[in-house]
Amino acid sequence: MTSQRTRDRLVARLSDQGITQPAVLDAVASTPRHIFIDEALAHRAYEDTALPIGHGQTISQPFIVALMTATLFNVPRDRVLELGTGSGYQAAILAALCQRVFTIERIEPLIERARTRLQALNLNNVIMKLGDGYRGWPEQGPFAGILVTAAPRVVPEELFQQLEVGGRMVVPVGADEVQELRVIDRTPDGYDEQVVEHVRFVPLLKGVRTS
């Protein structure tokens, strides 16, 4: 169930669904999603579905992870900020595609578990922080890419500022259960925005939770 073959089948399905970038498909093929999921649900790790990871949160559906990743990496990007570490799976996929990943999570037990998993995979290019990602990570910015995996009602101003010129942000936006997945490109003159998809994410919340 956790074999390379099941993972390859997931990759074939993603490719059928229009994810074409070889680097993204390779990252999915080489990242064991089952280790990011509690044992009781690990047998469902290679289904194309979101799964609960505790604390009311979910690991995103593989198609959405692949779509957001492919959208972010329309061009190579070296430093990427992720908001909402959750299980750590998306961070592991990003780590396969860029030099350095910065990721922030507000729920302490989730980030601790994610840290253990990423260490087990020897992904030493992921830098993690317990905190409120709402303001981004100004000390480490600007970033070539920002991937937000929880939905703000409006995109925080700080995130625009932490995007470098030529950088791209992929972010689900909205207060409802279904949100717009927006792509925001920073150009020398300002910002270009487009909506690529409709998605379902948990809300981006304020503050930190230690239990």
Residues 6+ apart with CB under 8 A from 156: 134, 135, 136
Q: Is 33 in the site for ligand SAH (CB under 6 A)?
A: no
- The catalytically annotated residue of 3, 30, 60, 87 is 60
Q: Is 132 in the site for ligand SAH (CB under 6 A)?
A: yes
Please say which residue, 165 or 178, places its beta carbon nearer to ligand SAH: 178
- Coil, helix or strand for 151? strand
Query: Quick one: which of 19, 34, 73, 89 contacts ligand SAH (CB under 6 A)?
Result: 89
Residues 6+ apart with CB under 8 A from 146: 80, 81, 82, 83, 136, 159, 162, 163, 167, 168, 169, 170, 171
For the bound state, the minimum distance from the C-beta of residue 77 to ligand SAH, rounded and expressed in Å, comes to 17
At residue 28, what is the residue type?
V
Report the distance separating Cα 182 and Cα 169, nearest Å: 8
Query: Quick one: which of 14, 19, 105, 126 contacts ligand SAH (CB under 6 A)?
Result: 105
Q: Is 128 in the site for ligand SAH (CB under 6 A)?
A: no
For the bound state, the minimum distance from the C-beta of residue 169 to ligand SAH, rounded and expressed in Å, comes to 15
Q: Is 174 in the site for ligand SAH (CB under 6 A)?
A: no
Q: Is 172 in the site for ligand SAH (CB under 6 A)?
A: no
Please say which residue, 188 or 207, places its beta carbon nearer to ligand SAH: 207
| Known active-site residue 15 | no
**DSSP one-letter code for 69:** H
Report the distance separating Cα 211 and Cα 26, nearest Å: 35
Residues catalogued as catalytic: 60
